[in-house]
Chain A
C-alpha cells in the first residue's frame, strides 16, 4: 500500500475561527493520507474538529470567520489550499464530492429533486439537457430509488430522510469522483435506515472505485467500513492506524477509553463506561501539554508540560501520547 501514490494528503492543517478578534484553532496540525480506493474513517466525539476538517478539504468553511491558516491539502499532488473559488468549483462535485449529516436540510426545499440532481452534471459535463435528466434518473435508480422517473419532479419535503440521503448520495457519485467525503451520513437517520444507507455507500464505493473519507463517531460503523482509522481529539490526530490494530491494539489512552465505552451484547454491566468530562471548547483549550490530560486515566505530571508529537510507534501506526517514546519530543530522536 505504501508504494501507491496517495490520493489525498493532508499536511499540518490548521483551521481557525475568528472569535472576538482572536483565532482559535478547531483543527490544529492535522496530517493524514487517503490512498486510492481506500476507506479512511475519522473518529472522535462531538466538537473534536472532524467536521471542520472535512469542510476545510472542500473549502466549504463559513466564509465570514473560518479560515485555513497553515498547512496543505494535496489532492493527487496538487495543493487545494491556494485555489480560488472558481478553481475549487471545477473540483467540487467532480473529483471530490461530499454528503452531509442532515439530509432534511441539505436539499433546497423549493427546487425539484430533478433540478438539484441535474445541477451537478450540468456543472461538470457538456451533456445536453435531456441526456442529463436521463442520467439523473439512472443515478437515482442506482441508489435504490424505484420511482426515480417520478421523484425527479417532486420536492424534498415529499421524501423521507432515508430517501433524501439516497438522493444526496446519487448527487455525490454523479461524476464518478475519486474521493467521497461522508460527514456522519447516517447520524440523523433511523437505525434500520442507517444500515441500508451504509450498505448502499459500501456498494457504490466498490462500484465506482472511489476512495472514501468517512467521518463518524460510531465505532460500529468504523468496524464495518474502515480500512484505516484516524482518531481525532480536540482538533488533533491522536492515533492513526489500520482498523484491526485500532480494535485489537489501541495505543492512545483516548482510543482505549472510546473502545471501553462501547456497550456489548455479552456483558452484564449495570453502568456503561464513559469518558468523564467533555472536549474542552475552542476558547478553553490548554495552551501547553496534552489536550486530553484532564480526562486521561494515565495522566502523568509531565503531560501538562510537554506537547506530545504524532509519532510512529509501529509501521503504519502513529500515536500522539508521551507514554510512547516515539511521541515524546525529547526522546523521539533516540528511537
Chain B
C-alpha cells in the first residue's frame, strides 16, 4: 500500500515547527506504524536529510515511551493500543495520515514528535510511592489482601505513564495518570499510612506543573492504551477531599 504523511517537524523547543508532507510507497500491512516511520527515515538519511525524531523504546506496548497523535488521536485509531503496537493494516491504501507530537503545556516539544514528560516523574517524586526503605519489610504473606482488592490495585498499576490521557484531554489534565497511582497505592493496606499525604502532595505537584482541570469528558479513558478507568478519578477525588478535610498535615 501507499500512504501520504503529514508530519510535524520542529528543530528544537525554541524554533517554530510546521507540517511537512511525505509520500511512502510499498508499505506492507504487516509493518508496525513505527517501522513505517523507520523506512521513511532511512529514505531521508539516504537523501542527507534529518530523520524524524520520535520517542520509542520497547516496541512491545509496555515502556510508555512512544507517543504522538495519529490523525488527531493519541496513539492512533486503535483502541487499547500504544503507537508501537499499531499496524499498517489499520490504514487504507492512499490514505493521508497526519502525525503530530502530544500537545500540552506540561509536555513541551523537544524536537519533531519528541516531548518532555518529566513532569510525570516529579509528580511521582512528590508522593507516588510507599515509604518502605529496603530492609524494612516483613514477610510478604503477613498481610493477606483480598484477591478482588489486589486485582483492582493491579488494574490501576497497569498505567504505563505515556501521557496519552493528558494529550487526549481538551484541558490537558493529568488526572487519570495521578488517580491511577493514588488508587493503586490507596487500595493496598501497605499504602494506607501515607494516603492523605500522598493525595495532597501529588495533586499539588500536578497543579504546579501546569496540567489543567478535569471536566469529566472521559476522553482520557477512551484513549488510554491500557484501559485505565475513570473510576480512578472518582477515587482520587474522594481521597483528596478526605485528605483536605481530615489531614493532620499539609504538604509543604
A and B are interacting partners: no
Q: Which residues of B contact A (CB under 8 A)?
A: none
Q: Which residues of A contact B (CB under 8 A)?
A: none
